[in-house]
Amino acid sequence: MGDDRGPAAPHTLCGVTDTAVSPEIAAAPKALLHDHLDGGLRPQTIIEISDEIGYAGLPTTDAAALDRWFRESADSGSLVRYLETFEHTVAVMQTESGLYRVAKECALDLAADGIVYAESRYAPEQHVAGGLSMPAVVEAVNAGFRDGEAEAAAAGRPIQVRALLTAMRHAARSREIAELAIQYRDAGVVGFDIAGAEAGYPPTRHLDAFEYLQRENAHFTIHAGEAFGLPSIWEAIQYCGADRLGHGVMILDDIDTSGPVPRLGRLAAYVRDARIPLEMCPSSNLQTGAAASYAEHPITLLKDLRFRVTVNTDNRLMSGTTLGMEFQHLVDEAGWSLADIRWATINAMKSAFIPFDERLAIIDTIVKPGYAALGVPAYAV
């Protein structure tokens, strides 16, 4: 793709001044499956909502300094500091107006990043401290997404944003939230997720929720293989029936790379053969220690072995990232090409939780023509 990035106009997303993304990557249609709503707020929005609701816990009320604080805390290696970042974002997402604004800005920021389809996840149970009911939380977020979509389309950047409702794996409300996902599945909620610390909280603790969702013909993903090993992935797939794996980076533990040709263990082979999508988040994985560098991240090996790899942002504010930046890191440090980005984007669209005909329409009318315009030849994926 070359190194001529001069024409790329700087723009601010989630407090990140993005000047490093090449014009080709900036222009490329993208799809996002793993992005946390409470991990992608604009620093200025956090400050303004804090002032409105009387929240005095912020470490600073200067937007640039707050942006730096979030990134430094996420990079600190301290779990306490990392978790504190979410205390502040969740604190300003306790009112209908706050949730609406955050969701609307999320849609606008993703659209500005060239994303044409996104699934944003959040945990309704974390947004009821101010007295909202969980249905009220969902309705406020849905309204924000719809208005954000409309404003983005009017600006010439159409995007579809759908929601995943997340249950916290250390809590006991997963069945209730699964039922909420079904209640709103015709109103913009396309799936379910569990998140939180993997160690000590296996996905099988929430079998009731997963079995209910399966009976309802609903989609769900499970955070697995991010900070805990193969048992977490195995349980998520074989006991719980996950459609996708959130992160899944530790599937590498079941691949023998000591010889000239990588050898897949039984679980890794099953994940690849069954085309189970991996929602991989390179920058986030570097922060949590799941990978040492972009060059060494398992995502490239998994791509080369033809796993169904997707590229995602996880927490844009904490990682100081955008999806365009994630791809640029992989191009610069792991040898990816624009054709690889196209492949990962089509993987994401194939793995989305919207109906097949809608997925196909986005692939055929937006993604493939968009990459063809950038000179990427059409080929079977």
Concerning whether 226 is annotated as a catalytic residue, the answer is yes
Cα-based angle 97, 100, 106 (whole degrees, multiple of 5): 140
Instruction: Provide the angle, in degrees to the nearest 10, between the axes of the packed helices 79-91 and 63-75.
Output: 140
Q: In the block, which residue shows the tokens 């692939």?
A: 363
Q: Which amino acid is at 28?
A: A
Give me the catalytic one of 226, 235, 279, 326: 226
Q: Point out the residues that are catalytic.
A: 226
